[in-house]
A and B are shown apart, each in its own frame.
Chain A
Amino acid sequence: SCPVAPASRSSQEVWESFSQCFTPAVKEVVEFAKSIPGFQMLSQHDQVMLLKSGTFQVLMVRFCSLFEPKERTVTFLNGQTYSLPSLRALGMGSLLESMFDFSEKLGSLGLEQDEMALFMAVVLVSADRSGVVEVGAVEQLQENLIKALRSLITSRRPDDSTLFPKLLLRLPDLRTLNNQHSDKLLAFRID
């Protein structure tokens, strides 16, 4: 629901409002993680580590629905639609460009809401584990979630054996998006 760039505002103010709109989105990913069966069985340390390394990637999946790849536009939850050039002024052109490509590939798979949610759970527990202590527990949780995702997708499309592998191929894409863009700068005014 991020109101970006009415013409009268300076790019600094635009940058601040864009930065602000990440905060609620991150909090929603934290709540989502806590609802994943088994996630809260992990140690608190490992929950925090997975969230720190996986949240950006989950956000990228969530934001896909805002992107209209054909027209290269982004529609925020408040209904405001922006073209890619107008958002380039925010200096996030390269991230947005990658997002259009990623959302086109993910969108073409035509996942249902619950399949997308289960995929996001897999994305989170598949995130970088360098800070994780009990790797075995995380791997077990990942295996369970991948099994659940596979059975949900194959039960609905018994004759389509390509969809599930195509979906898993999005995981490295997300890892690349994360490595390329999570160091984007945000700015917050301190009063």
Chain B
Amino acid sequence: PKTHRVMTLADHISHIITQDFARNQ
């Protein structure tokens, strides 16, 4: 069966921002 990661919109936004800043360090 397909597995899903469920997260809130706020957590999804935080995740993308953290990733972006980590990548540009």
Contact = CB atoms under 8 A, between A and B. Distances in A.
Contacts of B17: 26, 30, 48, 51-52, 55
B4 A190 contact: yes
B6 A187 contact: yes
A183 B13 contact: no
Contact of B5 (A12, A55, A190): A190
A182 B7 CA distance: 11
Interface string A1-32: 00000000000100000010011001100100
A176 to B, nearest CB: 15
A55 B20 CA distance: 13
Interface in A67-117: none
A188 B9 CA distance: 11
A189 B4 contact: yes
A184 interface: yes
A187 B9 CA distance: 9
B20 to A, nearest CB: 5
Given A22-B12, A56-B13, A47 B21 contact: yes
Nearest to B17: A51
A186 B3 contact: no
If over half of A's interface residues share one DSSP class (helix, strand or loop), that class is named, otherwise mixed; here it is helix
Interface string A27-48: 1001000000000000010011
A22 B15 CA distance: 12
B6 A185 contact: yes
A181 interface: yes
Nearest to B20: A30
A183 B12 CA distance: 10
A48 B18 CA distance: 7
Interface of A: 12, 19, 22-23, 26-27, 30, 44, 47-48, 51-52, 55-56, 181-191
10 contacts: A22-B12, A23-B12, A51-B17, A52-B17, A181-B9, A182-B9, A183-B10, A186-B8, A186-B9, A189-B3
